[in-house]
């Protein structure tokens, strides 16, 4: 029987290569979390909340920017004019025809229509409303005036068909990005929650293995960096699968409930958030795992994770602030800071304020930061993993790793 101690220095890894060992640890982490009821419940709760938010928007928005206007008699002239005025005012108007004034009045009283145009005294039309609505009044009044003016000009022999049409050009340029920004804010909120959730999973797993001495058995067959890589990779795949599922549910739900009008931009924003999750997770999972390796009890975990958690909280609030002013100095600067960029840059991208070179630079800086954290963190992790007596200082872990 070979000496288990030889496996820790790499001589006992002939049977399984590094990649195979990392996959084994990753598979173990995935299977463990998939059996965890808390993980399953949290995933279901997130999806239910996401669908609930969309349903709430549909319910709240129902009836907004819509109107029903009754017209007595022939509506062939006034109907299209009222609809055109409504479209210009941003209101989707439906014309309802009535045979007489009494039926129209009853419909207004019953709330079946927002207003009804009936014959008034002296031949002037009269708009009946149950509750005065400036938008409905403006739409109907404008339509009646336009039809009357066209009739008078036609009677005078004036041809109005050749009148120029006014075109509208936005000086802001581009389309309205409000929907993409809202999607990005929701995505950043999910990103923030998932980074904390899976960072905690990594940290708790490290402490559990240290306190139960399981880590000593694991390190008899693999090196510390392989154990660290397997943990990060396994939970990372699980987290990526979760956020992809949430993204798909969100996109399908938003399109099904007609919450957004720009599916292409919506999908682009969701993909951006998912890709930033990959970078953010690689960074924070490494930091959480290294911090957890410095303690041996779950009770001490909060003290070593608090600084990193505060960075995440700061990034989340800056990301929310960036939604109101994506071109501000704070939002622009923090979108390049590793650790903060995954929570800020998606919002600036959704708002159209991030140039391609800015996104590329933020990604490169994040990749460099991940590489440095993994390299330094691997050394700390290796030096502190077998120290199970109380809390280990960072300097002591590095000195133990070199020894």
Residue 168 lies in a domain: no
Environment class of 349 (CB within 10 Å of its CB; exposed 0-12, middle 13-18, buried 19+): buried
Residue 120 and residue 62 in contact, taking contact as beta carbons nearer than 8 Å: no
Q: Show which of 94, 124, 155 is a domain's final residue.
A: 155
If asked whether residues 281 and 196 sit together in one domain, one would say yes
Q: Report the candidate in 172, 192, 188, 236 with the shortest Cα–Cα distance to residue 349.
A: 188
Q: Show which of 125, 155, 185 is a domain's final residue.
A: 155
| pLDDT score for 156 | 67
* Terminal CA-CA length for the chain: 28
If asked whether residues 201 and 301 sit together in one domain, one would say yes
pTM here is 0.64
Element (H, E) at 71: strand 66-72
Cα separation, 372 vs 128, in Å, equals 72
Compute CA 285 distance to the chain's CA centroid, rounded to the nearest angstrom. Answer: 20
pLDDT tens digit string along 370-387?
Answer: 888 877 777 777 777 767
Residues 6+ apart with CB under 8 A from 394: 294, 380
For tokens 């419909």, name the residue: 107
Q: Which two tokens stand for residue 316?
A: 């989340």
pLDDT tens digit string along 159-190?
Answer: 655 555 555 444 444 445 666 777 778 778 88
> How large a percentage of the chain has pLDDT more than 90?
6
Radius of gyration of the chain (CA): 32
Q: Dihedrals φ, ψ of 72, to 5°?
A: -90, 130
If asked whether residues 203 and 350 sit together in one domain, one would say yes
Q: Which two tokens stand for residue 55?
A: 């349903």
Residue 166 lies in a domain: no
If asked whether residues 118 and 195 sit together in one domain, one would say no
If asked whether residues 141 and 280 sit together in one domain, one would say no
| pLDDT score for 12 | 44
If asked whether residues 330 and 292 sit together in one domain, one would say yes
For residues 87-99, b (16+ Cβ closer than 10 Å) or e, as one string? Answer: eeeebebebbebe
Cα separation, 349 vs 326, in Å, equals 9
Q: At what angle do helices 356-384 and 394-402 cross, to 10 degrees?
A: 70
Cα separation, 323 vs 186, in Å, equals 11
Can you give 308-333 as a three-state secondary structure string?
Answer: HHHHHHHHHHHHHHHHHCCCCHHHHH
Task: Give the chain's domain count.
Answer: 2
> How large a percentage of the chain has pLDDT more than 70?
78
Residues 6+ apart with CB under 8 A from 81: 143, 144, 146, 147
pLDDT band, very low/low/confident/very high, at 359 (cuts 50, 70, 90): very high
If asked whether residues 300 and 184 sit together in one domain, one would say yes
Residue 8 lies in a domain: no
Give the strand order in the sheet containing 92-98: 92-98, 66-72, 115-119, 125-128
pLDDT (mean) for 387-397: 72
Residue 216 lies in a domain: yes
pLDDT (mean) for 117-128: 69
Q: Which two tokens stand for residue 278?
A: 């990959």
Q: How many residues does the chain have?
A: 403
Domain span holding position 146: 66-155
Residue 209 lies in a domain: yes
Residues 6+ apart with CB under 8 A from 399: 383
Residue 81 lies in a domain: yes
If asked whether residues 268 and 187 sit together in one domain, one would say yes
Q: Alpha helix (H) ranges present in 113-166? A: 134-155
Residue 10 lies in a domain: no
Cα separation, 51 vs 169, in Å, equals 36
pLDDT tens digit string along 266-325?
Answer: 777 888 888 898 888 888 888 888 888 888 778 888 888 888 889 888 988 988 888 888
If asked whether residues 108 and 186 sit together in one domain, one would say no
pLDDT (mean) for 74-103: 74
If asked whether residues 264 and 132 sit together in one domain, one would say no
| pLDDT score for 123 | 58
If asked whether residues 51 and 94 sit together in one domain, one would say no
Q: Show which of 155, 184, 202 is a domain's final residue.
A: 155
| pLDDT score for 208 | 79
Q: At what angle do helices 18-34 and 178-211 cross, to 10 degrees?
A: 100
Residue 6 lies in a domain: no
Cα separation, 322 vs 347, in Å, equals 7
If asked whether residues 279 and 357 sit together in one domain, one would say yes
pLDDT (mean) for 28-54: 82
Other CB atoms within a 10 A radius of the CB of residue 245 amount to 13
pLDDT band, very low/low/confident/very high, at 11 (cuts 50, 70, 90): very low
């Amino acid at each position: 029987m070979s000496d288990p101690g030889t496996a820790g220095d790499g001589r006992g890894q002939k049977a399984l290569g590094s990649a195979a060992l990392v996959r084994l640890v990753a598979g173990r982490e995935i299977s463990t979390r998939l059996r965890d009821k808390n993980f399953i419940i949290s995933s279901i709760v997130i999806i239910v909340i996401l669908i609930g938010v969309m349903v709430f928007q549909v319910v709240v928005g129902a009836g907004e920017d819509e109107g029903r206007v009754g017209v007595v008699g022939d509506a062939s002239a006034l109907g299209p004019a009222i609809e055109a005025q409504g479209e210009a005012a941003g209101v989707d108007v439906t014309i309802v025809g009535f045979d007489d004034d009494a039926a129209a009045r009853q419909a207004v009283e019953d709330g079946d229509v927002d207003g009804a145009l009936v014959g008034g005294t002296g031949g002037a039309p009269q708009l009946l409303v149950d509750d005065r609505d400036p938008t409905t009044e403006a739409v109907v009044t404008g339509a009646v005036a336009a039809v009357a003016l066209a009739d008078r000009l036609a009677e005078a022999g004036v041809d109005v068909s050749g009148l120029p049409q006014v075109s509208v050009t936005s000086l802001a340029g581009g389309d309205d990005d409000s929907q993409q920004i809202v999607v990005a804010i929701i995505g950043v909120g999910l990103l923030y929650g998932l980074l904390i959730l899976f960072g905690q999973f990594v940290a708790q797993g490290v402490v559990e293995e240290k306190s139960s001495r399981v880590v000593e058995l694991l390190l008899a067959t693999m090196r510390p960096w392989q154990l660290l890589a397997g943990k990060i990779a396994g939970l990372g795949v699980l987290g990526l699968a979760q956020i992809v599922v949430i993204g798909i549910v969100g996109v399908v739900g938003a399109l099904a409930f007609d919450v957004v009008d720009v599916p292409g931009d919506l999908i682009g924003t969701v993909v951006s958030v998912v890709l930033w999750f990959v970078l953010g997770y690689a960074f924070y999972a490494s930091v959480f795992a290294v911090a957890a390796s410095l303690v041996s009890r779950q009770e001490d975990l909060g003290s070593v994770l608090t600084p990193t958690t505060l960075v995440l909280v700061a990034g989340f609030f800056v990301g929310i602030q960036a939604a109101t002013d994506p071109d501000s100095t704070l939002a622009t600067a923090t979108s390049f800071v590793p650790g903060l960029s995954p929570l800020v840059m998606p919002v600036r991208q959704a708002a159209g304020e991030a140039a391609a070179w800015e996104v590329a630079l933020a990604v490169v800086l994040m990749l460099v930061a991940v590489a440095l954290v993994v390299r330094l963190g691997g050394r700390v992790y290796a030096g502190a993993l077998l120290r199970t007596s109380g809390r280990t200082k960072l300097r002591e872990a590095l000195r133990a790793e070199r020894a």
